[in-house]
A and B are shown apart, each in its own frame.
Chain A
Amino acid sequence: MNMAGIVAGLRPYVLGLAGIAVLTAGWAVVAAAELLDGVPPPLEVFSALGEQLTGAELWRATGHTVAVTASATAIATVIGVLVGAAIGMSAMMDRLLGSTINTLRFVPPVALIPVVLLIMGFGSGSEIVVGTFAALWPVLLNVAAASREIKSRFEDMTRIQRLGPVRKLFSVYVPGTVAATITGVRVAAALALILVVAIEMLAVPAGLGHQVRFAGNALQLPTMYAYIVWTGCVGLLLNSVLQATERYLRRP
């Protein structure tokens, strides 16, 4: 491969990193000028992150948060696909569940945290429930909209072709809604991660959220920032994986 090819190939990544570089530079200026209290310089934060990356604590916390987020996203996907498909494909189900869904989805998931903690205690179960509640809506609404679209678009055709219900589901609805579903899952995973980290910071003594708070309480500011940066990196990675899946499914 020639040099120009390599440069052209790296171009999107270079542009993508430009924003982060500007942000870091601004951060360095603020820290160096001591404009704000409690902002350690980026170098200190990165060296703290490097330290954590070589230890076991960060990886254990990451494993916990990622596992809980993935569980919440998976449960939300199953429920969201089933309920979304039901209300998208059946006008009766839509009337039956529509108003309930529209009420529930405006309940802020954060508001559920105290309730869930009271009922389920301070463990992973509570994290999964709150994460699932946040992650459910993007999947459910995306699947419902896509199913509704497929239904109105192909209703006549599938009847002319005399498709049975099972074949109609697997040959038309599933392939017709899979791309919209994965888009919903991508948004859902991000919301689940945010809620999981939030509940870890507030109450559950595990995971990345707990590490942020723990380091903060111990006044280890560079470590606290290192965990915040790392949580962002985890989110970015999660999003990239799902985005690649989405692109693959949306190919012509």
Chain B
Amino acid sequence: MTVRLAPTSAGGRQTSDVAIEPTPEVAGRGSIDVSGVGYRYPGAAAERQVIDDLSFSVRPGEFVCVVGPSGCGKTTLLKLLSGLVPAESGGIHVDGVPVQGPPSNLGFVFQDHARALLPWRNAVRNVEFGLEAAGVARKDRRELARQALRRVQLPDVENLYPAQMSGGMQQRLQIARALAATPSILLMDEPFAALDALTRFALEDALLEVWRELGLTVVFVTHDLDEAVYLADRVVVLRRGPARVVRELQVELDRPRDQGRTRAEPEFVALRYELFETIRAL
């Protein structure tokens, strides 16, 4: 079996890092390539270019945060990546394959858990929901669901319904459901935006641990610059109207990161400052 390292249609946009680490399982699983993508909202009256000639790529196993002014099309970008909406021009490839609908190896964590979790199913049955659609046998589903719940540090809540859980727990539950289907890519749309600071810190660390253990590719949209620097290997900055990549910031802070120590490091502070100035100048 041959693994295609650089998608032919990517136009040589693939970063060299993939070639440096050509571990077959990794190189073929979880790369994203966006080249020259344009999108406008359908409907004659409201029609306007939301995204224009947007290009960037994500290596397998990389943690990329996307930041930008509000309303710049960050959520639309995730919808394009996940195949929820079709790009108008340009190409989006996941593992070298053009995206034509949600790929099976892709998990999505929505900003609003009310739009993701089924209120009539308890926690473990919500996790199983994704597995049912994927055709996993009944006897395996419960076990996989329990494992996923443990992974996001949500044991002992199996029988609680979403309405009985806090916002932080519901986001953990969403992450567990995405993980149960063993994706190689996780797209996250401001998943922690509605949480209080301490809960957010806990979820950020839980996410980083899962990411490290499973070797996932993560694209994480946020408007919180501190969060972006804390989580990411690389921060992609978008500008507004139409969205385009204006800057990519490499984050080389040591891992595992620590909420106290990492955020106090001069490099963290410098990156955060740079990010802020970049966005302010837009």
A162 to B120, Cβ gap below 8 A?
no
| Distance in Å: Cβ of A174 to nearest Cβ of chain B | 10
The answer for the CA separation of A154 and B114 in the assembled complex, in Å, is 9
Residues A172 and B133 in contact, CB atoms below 8 Å apart = no
A164 B118 Cβ-Cβ under 8 A: no
A160 and B84 within 8 A (CB)? yes
**Which B residues touch A40, using CB under 8 A?**
none
- Which chain B residues numbered 150 to 201 have a C-beta less than 8 Å away from chain A? 161, 163-164
Q: Which of A152-184 contact B (CB under 8 A)?
A: 153-154, 156-157, 159-164, 167, 171-172, 175-176
Instruction: Using A162-B104, A176-B120 as known contacts, say yes or no to A157 and B133 having CB atoms under 8 A apart.
Output: no
B102: contacting residue among A162, A167, A175, CB under 8 A: A162
CB-based nearest A residue for B109: A160
Write out the residue numbers on chain A whose beta carbons fall within 8 Å of the beta carbon of B163.
252
**Contact at B110–A157, with CB atoms within 8 Å?**
yes
- Given contact pairs A156-B84, A156-B110, A175-B120, A161 touches B130 in the complex (Cβ within 8 A): yes
Residues of chain B lying within 8 A (CB to CB) of residue A159: 84, 101-102
Q: Is the CB of B134 within 8 A of A154?
A: no
Per-position binary interface string of chain B over residues 87-127, scored 1 when its CB falls under 8 Å from any chain A CB and 0 otherwise: 00000000000000110101110100011101010000000
B56 at the binding interface (Cβ < 8 Å): no
> Closest Cβ of chain B: how far from A29's Cβ, in Å?
49
Docked-complex contact B132 and A157, CB < 8 angstroms: no
Assess the B115–A153 pair: CB atoms within 8 A.
yes
Chain A residues with CB below 8 A from B104, complex form: 162
Interface residues on A, range: 10 to 19
Q: Assess whether B222 is interfacial by the CB under 8 Å rule.
A: no
- B129 within 8 A of partner (CB): yes
Q: Which of A153, A157, A159, A160 has the most CB of B within 10 A?
A: A160
Nearest neighbor of A167 in chain B, beta-carbon distance:
B133
Known contacts: A156-B84, A175-B120, A252-B163. The answer to whether A161 contacts B110 by CB under 8 A is no
**Complex: how many Å from CA A154 to CA B111?**
13
Bound state CA distance, A157 and B189, in angstroms? 13
Instruction: Specify which chain B residues have a CB less than 8 angstroms from the CB of A160 in the assembled complex.
Output: 82, 84, 102, 106-108
| Chain A residue, CB-CB nearest to B121 | A175
Q: Name the residue on A nearest B177 (C-beta).
A: A161
Bound Cα distance A154, B120 (Å): 13
CB distance A154 to B115 under 8 Å?
A: yes
On whether A175 and B118 interact (CB within 8 A), knowing A159-B84, A252-B163, the answer reads yes
**Bound CA–CA A90/B146 (angstroms):** 36
**Bound Cα distance from A108 to B271, whole angstroms:** 70
Q: How far is the CB of B80 from chain A (nearest CB, A)?
A: 13
Contact B102 A163 (CB under 8 A): no
Chain A residues within CB distance 8 Å of chain B: 153-154, 156-157, 159-164, 167, 171-172, 175-176, 252
Could you list some 15 contacts between A and B, CB below 8 A?
Answer: A154-B118, A156-B79, A156-B84, A157-B108, A157-B110, A159-B102, A160-B84, A162-B101, A162-B104, A164-B133, A167-B132, A171-B129, A175-B118, A176-B118, A176-B120
Binding site for A on B (CB under 8 A): 79, 82, 84, 101-102, 104, 106-108, 110, 114-116, 118, 120, 129-130, 132-134, 161, 163-164
**Could you list 17 further interchain pairs (A-B, Cβ under 8 angstroms) beyond the known A156-B115, A171-B132?**
A153-B114, A156-B108, A156-B110, A157-B108, A157-B110, A160-B82, A160-B106, A161-B129, A162-B101, A162-B102, A162-B104, A162-B134, A163-B133, A175-B118, A252-B161, A252-B163, A252-B164
